[in-house]
Amino acid sequence: MSEARNLTTQQGLDAIDRCIVAATQAGLPLTPRPYHRLAEQLGLTPAEVMRRLVRMIESGAVRRIGAVPNHYALGWSANGMSVWDIPDEHVDEVGRIIGSLDCVSHCYRRPRHPPTWPYNLFAMVHGRSREQVEDEVMAIAALLRDRDRGHEVLYSSRILKKTGLRLTQ
Amino acid sequence: MDARDRELVNLLHGGFPIEAEPYARVGEQLGISGAEVIMRLARLLEQGTLTRFGPLYDAVQLGGAITLAAMAVPADRFDEVAAIVNAYPEVAHNYQREHRLNMWFVVASDRPQRIAAVLQEIGAATGLEVLDLPKEQEYFLELRLPA
């Protein structure tokens, strides 16, 4: 309970919200009335479950209720993590440009670790082939001109683990 | 995956309704029944076309924290180090990448103080440098499906 109180003070989540999070970690029930099913499991009214989910979406604790696609299965058989060294004064502007491209799913600013790691902008670039990803990265570089002080594309060769966020028990 | 599945997945990017019979509502928009929506989602999950369907939580907004970490692991120690890293429940994803920095993993926890602790422990257990690359800003747009 001390942890639940802790969450309450931090983010407005209480122990019941936390139970809803725990009950939906594996997903939303695939039954005609999924919120009723959750309510039964948790000993709440369906209205309460729905009200709390709406509130968690409003507060940002839940981004949305939705589907997470497997990019490979959707025909994006190649994806590369492109990393860019962008002057600090341009990085937000460049991030917004890259983040709005159709071939880019995620675009983040992250800290550099010089000299090991000079890059401050990450963009996942998707394509049907590695050649297509390379073309897209070249097109991005052309768009950025001298704001691109250097970039690389890192391809994943193996998924070593993929479980998603788990709450501490 | 057929055209209707694609329509369904694209529609779900816009959010899933919170009401008594949400699958029926989604079905209305596609001209199919709620039962067919459920059947299609179940099949897409079973096939691995979707890895998840449900509330998508934000670790940071849940009062937790998340970071991306990278390590340069010698080839002959790769599996040993992967086992050490993957043993942490806080490690949500771990990918091998073709680069000198060849191991990239996401550390997420509802206890923010665990992030630094896990990175520090992995560094100590492996004797390797762990780069901490937390997200500072997100420029977000949903992945769209190829036509």
* Residue A153 distance to chain B (closest CA, Å): 9
Answer whether B92 sits within 8 Å of A95, measured CB to CB.
no
Report the gap between the CA of A45 and the closest CA in chain B (Å): 12
Chain pair A-B, CB pairs under 8 angstroms: 240
Could you tell me if A41 lies within 8 Å of chain B, comparing CB atoms? no
Q: Are strands A121-127 and A104-109 parallel, antiparallel or unpaired?
A: antiparallel
Q: Is the peptide bond before A115 cis (omega within 30 degrees of 0)?
A: yes
User: A62 in contact with B at a CB cutoff of 8 Å?
Assistant: yes
Q: Could you give the CA distance from residue A165 to residue A18 in angstroms, rounded to a whole number?
A: 14
> Which two three-digit tokens encode residue A157?
């060769």
**Cα separations (Å) of A70 from A36, A82, B81?**
28, 19, 26
The 10s digit of each residue's pLDDT in A47-86 is 999 999 999 999 888 888 988 877 777 677 788 999 999 9
Q: CB distance B138–A163 less than 8 Å?
A: no
Each residue's pLDDT tens digit, A2-27: 444 344 434 568 889 989 988 998 89
pLDDT in tens, chain B (147 residues): 888 998 998 888 778 999 999 999 999 999 999 999 999 999 999 988 888 899 988 877 777 899 999 999 999 999 999 999 999 999 988 999 999 999 999 999 888 899 999 999 999 999 999 999 999 998 865 444 443
Report the residue from B53, B135, B142 with minimal CB separation from A27.
Answer: B53
- Does B34 sit within 8 Å of A30, measured CB to CB? no
Task: Collect all residues of chain A within an 8 Å Cβ-Cβ radius of residue B90.
Answer: 166
CB contact under 8 A, A69 and B50: yes
Interface test with B, best of A5, A19, A20, A30 (most B CBs within 10 A): A30
The ipTM estimated for the assembled molecules is: 0.73
pLDDT at A155 over 60: yes
